[in-house]
Amino acid sequence: MAHGDLKYTLLDYRAPSRHTWLCSAASVLIGVTLILTIAFYTTSSSNIHTISSSHNNGARSTIKSTEGPGSVESESGVVAADDGRCSEIGVQILKIGGHAVDAAVAVALCSGVVHPFSSGLGGGSFIVVRNSASGEALALDARETAPAAASTDMYRDNPTSKSKGPLSAGVPGELAGLHAAWTRYGRLPWRDLFLPSIKLARDGFVVAMQEKEALILADPGLTEVLAPGGKLLLVNETCYNPKLAATLEEISEKGPDAFYKGSLGENFIKDVKNLGGILTMEDLKEYKVVIKRALEIEAMGYTLLGMHPPSSGTVGMALILNILDSYRSVQAVQGLLGLHRIIESMKHMFAVRMNLGDPDFVNVTLDVSNMLSPSFAAKIRQKIVDNATFSPSYYMPKWSQLRDNGTSHFCVVDSDRNAVAMTTTVNFYFGAGVLSPSTGIVLNNEMDDFSVPSELTPDELPPAPANFIKPRKRPLSSMTPLIILKENQLAGVVGASGGTKIIPAVLQVFLNHFVLGMDPLASVQKSRVYHKLIPNKVTYENYTAIDGELIEFEKSSKLFLEKRGHVLENTSSSAVCQLVVHDLGEPVQNWDGKRRNWRNFLRRNTENAVFKGMLTAVSDLRKDGAPAGI
C-alpha cells in the first residue's frame, strides 16, 4: 500500500485514484486557507451585521464583547463560542463548504487549546446534531466514564482525591465523540479540521483570562505550559503548548485510534499512572460513544431536541417548562410574578432530578417519564403559591444535589441549516489540576460528579444511589445542549456552561427570546437568577463583566422576591450561555421575489423543505466571548 493510500485509510477515507490528484490539491488549499485564518484574523464580510440591541424594560442599550460584537447576523452560517478565535475558526470551516459538524470539531479543538481550564481532549462532551434535509437528530454521549478499577467506596479514605489529582479522572470521551459525529456528517478531511488548532498550540496564542497561580504551580505539566520558568503567564502574553500541538498532529493523521489504541494513549496513561492514577489502556480501548436519537420534548409551542440521561438538562427543562405551560398563558412567566414562578419551578425540578443516573446502570424510566409528563408538572404547579416560597422540605428532596462545575458551550448552524449544540468539559477549573507532560492534555476530574456513600454533603441530604460509582458508568450531569424547532423548522440552538447554573441559565435565555419576545442579544445578556434548592436562597447577578459591562439585577425585583420570603444573595459566579436564533419571519432568498413567512413557504413546497431565514448568533459577555458569521 502506498503512503498516500495508507494516510487515507487511517483517516477513514477511500484512497483516491491517481487521476483524482486535484482533490488532494484542494485539500491542501483548504489547509492553507485555515492557517491564513489564524494569521490574518478578521471578521469583515458583506452580509455580517453588528447588532447593538437594547434590553426590554429600559435596560442598557449597547452590550458588546471586547473581542468582537455581542452578536452577528448572517444569511449563510454562524458560530457562537465563548472565545472569538474559535468562532472565527468555525466560520472559516463553513466558508469552505464544511458541514456544521466539521465546524464543531474545529471549534472544540480550538477551545481545548485556548481554554484548557474548561475543555479539551482529556475531558468529555454532549453533542446534539440535527440534519436539516432528513430531520434526523442525534444525541452523542461522549461523557467520561469511570475506570474499570473504580469502585463505590474508592474515596472513603481520601475524600479530596475525588475532586483533585489523577484519581479524580474519568476515561476521556471528547475525541471519540468528535470523531463519531464527523464520521456521520463530516464533509471535509479530518486532518484539515485540526490545522488551525495545531498552529495555535505550536506557534502560540494570547492568554485571554487570568489563570489561578497556586493551582498551576502545583503541577509540573501545567507549570511548563502556563508558567514557564516558574513565572505565571499574564493576560495578553503568549502561551505555547508544543506537546499538545504534536498530539493534535498525530491524531489528525492517524485518527482517534492514535489516542485510544496507540502510543499517544500509552504515553498519556503512563503519565497518569506515574502520578498515582488508575486509568489503563484497556479503559481507553473499551471507551464507547453512546449514540441515540435525540430526546424530544414539546413545550410552549416548540420542540426541544437534547440529551438523554445521564444528562439531567433536557428532562429538567421539560419539567420546568411544563410547569409554567400548565398556567395556560404566556402572562404566567411575565413580570415579577413570573420570575417568582420560575424560581419555584426550578426548586421543584432540583428536588426531583437527583433520582436520575446512567440508564445503562440504573432504571430511570419512571423518573424520566414523570419529568416529561405535563400531568405530573400540573400537579407540581398546584403546589406553587404566588405570595410565598417555602423551606426545602416542602419540595420533598430525597438526595443531595450534584455539584458539577466548569464546561464550555458553543452553537453552530451552517448554510443548509444543519445545527450542532455541543457542551464540553473537564469539570473543575483545569479539571484534576494535572497536565500530561508527554501529550499536553489536561486531565478531567469528572469522577467528582458521582455520588459516594461516605460523602459529607453540605445540604445534609444522603448521596443519591442512582449516581453511585460503578466501573464504566457515566456520572450525572447538568449539561443542557439544545436544538429548538418550530413545526419541524430550525428555530434556534442554545446551551451554557456553569455546572448547576446551566439549567437555570438555558431556561431563562429560552424564555426571554422564544416566549417573552426579547431580541437574541438581550435574551443572553439580561441578568439572571439561580437556585439549587439547598441552600434555600436565590443568587442573582450583579457585577461587572470582563468587558466592563454592568450586569445588574433590579432593586424592584429584589424587593418583590424578598416580600415572598426569598433569601437573596449576590453572585459573581455565573453560567455562560451561547445562542443562535433562526428568523422564521421571512426567507433570506425569496423564491418568487415576494415576502412570505415560513408557513407560507411550506404551503408552496414539500413537507421536508428547509426554510432559510436570517441567523443571529450571540456569545455571552460573561466570558467575553464573540460570535462569528459568514
31-35, 85-89, 455-459, 556-560: least confidently modelled range: 31-35
The mean pLDDT value of the chain amounts to 87
Q: How much is the pLDDT for 455?
A: 78
pLDDT band for position 5 (50/70/90)?
very low
pLDDT band for position 34 (50/70/90)?
low
For the question of residue 616 being annotated catalytic, the response is no
Q: Are 405 and 163 a contacting pair, CB within 8 Å?
A: no
pLDDT band for position 198 (50/70/90)?
very high
Q: How much is the pLDDT for 470?
A: 98
- Is 438 annotated for ligand binding? no
- Buried b / exposed e over 583-616, threshold 16 CB at 10 Å, is bbebbeeeeeeeebebeebbeeeeeebbbbbbbb
CA distances to 18, 374, 437 from 398, rounded to whole Å, are 66, 22, 43
Q: How much is the pLDDT for 9?
A: 23
Whose cell is 478531511? That residue is 189
Q: Over pLDDT 70: what percentage of the chain?
A: 83
- Is 426 annotated for ligand binding? yes
Across residues 263-283, what is the average pLDDT? 97
Q: What is the pTM of this model?
A: 0.88
Across residues 155-184, what is the average pLDDT? 97
Q: How much is the pLDDT for 69?
A: 62
- Is 425 annotated for ligand binding? yes
How does DSSP assign 277-342, residue by residue?
----HHHHHH---EEEEPEEEEETTEEEEEPPTTB-HHHHHHHHHHHHHTT-SGGGGSHHHHHHHH
pLDDT band for position 419 (50/70/90)?
very high
75-79, 154-158, 252-256, 584-588: least confidently modelled range: 584-588
Q: Are 28 and 79 a contacting pair, CB within 8 Å?
A: no
CA distances to 76, 118, 193, 308, 345 from 108, rounded to whole Å, are 21, 11, 10, 21, 33
- Give helix then strand counts, H and E, for the chain: 20, 22
Of 167, 228, 171, 143, which is closest to residue 477 (Cα–Cα)?
A: 143
Across residues 16-25, what is the average pLDDT? 34
Q: Which three cell numbers stand for residue 352?
A: 426531583
- Is 459 annotated for ligand binding? no
Q: How much is the pLDDT for 295?
A: 98
pLDDT band for position 593 (50/70/90)?
very low
- Buried b / exposed e over 175-213, threshold 16 CB at 10 Å, is bbbbbbbbeebbebbbbbbbbbbbbbbbeebebbeebee
**Dihedral of CA 430/436/439/443: which sign?**
negative
Q: Over pLDDT 90: what percentage of the chain?
A: 77
Neighbours of 122 (CB within 10 A): 30
309: pLDDT strictly greater than 60: yes
Sorted by sequence, the CB contacts under 8 Å of residue 255 that are 6+ apart come out as: 10, 11, 12, 179, 190
Across residues 343-357, what is the average pLDDT? 96
Q: Which three cell numbers stand for residue 75?
A: 444569511
Q: How much is the pLDDT for 356?
A: 96
Of 599, 598, 591, 553, which is closest to residue 572 (Cα–Cα)?
A: 553
Across residues 498-512, what is the average pLDDT? 96
131 φ/ψ angles, rounded to the nearest 5 degrees: -90, 120
- Is 70 annotated for ligand binding? no
List the catalytic residue out of 223, 247, 303, 407.
407
User: Which DSSP state fits 242?
Assistant: H
Across residues 526-538, what is the average pLDDT? 94
pLDDT tens digits, residue range 317-326? 999 999 999 9
18: pLDDT strictly greater than 90: no
Q: Are 182 and 102 a contacting pair, CB within 8 Å?
A: yes
252: pLDDT strictly greater than 90: yes
Amino acid in the structure at residue 477 = S
Domains of the chain, earliest start first: 71-204+240-294+401-447+468-629 (3.60.20.40)
Q: Are 446 and 123 a contacting pair, CB within 8 Å?
A: yes
Across residues 298-323, what is the average pLDDT? 97
Determine the Cα–Cα distance for residues 181 and 183; give it in Å rounded to an integer. 5
pLDDT band for position 459 (50/70/90)?
low
Of 305, 383, 315, 325, which is closest to residue 350 (Cα–Cα)?
A: 315
Query: Which residues on adjacent β-strands are paired with residue 292?
Result: 139
Determine the Cα–Cα distance for residues 350 and 614; give it in Å rounded to an integer. 36
Q: How much is the pLDDT for 45?
A: 32
- Is 499 annotated for ligand binding? yes
Determine the Cα–Cα distance for residues 624 and 210; give it in Å rounded to an integer. 13
Q: Is 497 helix (H, G, I), strand (E, B) or coil?
A: strand
